């Protein structure tokens, strides 16, 4: 079992996941990944699967990891570079739950659209039809990172009828 991580840029951390064959390896990897997410210094984490066919333990690990990442408001994306791994995730129906891409560049592009901190770049966002469409579509997939304040009688304007 091997879990390596490195910082891709200021908004992305890549975690390479390989060598997980059974539930014990998955449990050890999950503990490492949860610790990494707790102290994560980037708003987006890309899990890079480095296996041909991920075993069921890895698939369960990824689903639990996504739920855990949402608690810490970390955008999680899974990259399956191997076609067999991508096919296995697709057949298991995990593309509906996880954000699965085939390359790191696709994962970066997806986080630029979804992740609020990634879009706060010094250059203005491209205003193309494709970008506007992605923003509308991904709004349903991405967690809302803004804090909501409850409406109370003290915070409401008094002149509203």
pLDDT in tens, 79-101: 999 999 999 998 988 888 888 99
Identify the pLDDT of residue 150.
55
43 vs 72: CA distance, rounded Å:
9
Helix (H) or strand (E) holding 64: helix 56-71
| pTM across the whole model | 0.69
**Structure-token match 């014990």, residue found:** 24
Radius of gyration of the chain (CA): 18
134 vs 46: CA distance, rounded Å:
19
Identify the pLDDT of residue 64.
92
Helix (H) or strand (E) holding 3: strand 2-9
Identify the pLDDT of residue 94.
87
pLDDT in tens, 62-75: 999 998 988 888 88
Identify the pLDDT of residue 153.
55
Identify the pLDDT of residue 47.
92
**Spans of the chain below 70 pLDDT:** 1, 114-161
CA quadruple 24, 26, 29, 33: dihedral sign: negative
Identify the pLDDT of residue 65.
92
């Amino acid at each position: 079992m091997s879990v390596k991580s490195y910082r891709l840029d200021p908004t992305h951390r890549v975690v390479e996941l390989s060598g997980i064959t059974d539930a014990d390896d998955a449990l050890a990897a999950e503990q490492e990944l949860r610790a990494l997410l707790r102290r994560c210094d980037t708003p987006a984490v890309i899990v890079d699967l480095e296996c041909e066919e991920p075993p069921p333990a890895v698939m369960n690990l990824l689903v639990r990891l996504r739920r855990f990442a949402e608690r810490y408001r970390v955008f999680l994306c899974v990259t399956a570079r191997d076609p067999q791994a991508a096919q296995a995730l697709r057949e298991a129906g995990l593309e509906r739950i996880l954000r699965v891409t085939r390359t790191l560049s696709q994962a970066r592009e997806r986080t630029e659209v979804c992740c609020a901190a990634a879009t706060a770049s010094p250059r203005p966002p491209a205003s193309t039809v494709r970008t506007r469409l992605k923003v509308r579509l991904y709004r349903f997939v991405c967690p809302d990172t803004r804090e909501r304040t409850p409406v109370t009688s003290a915070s409401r304007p008094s002149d509203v009828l």
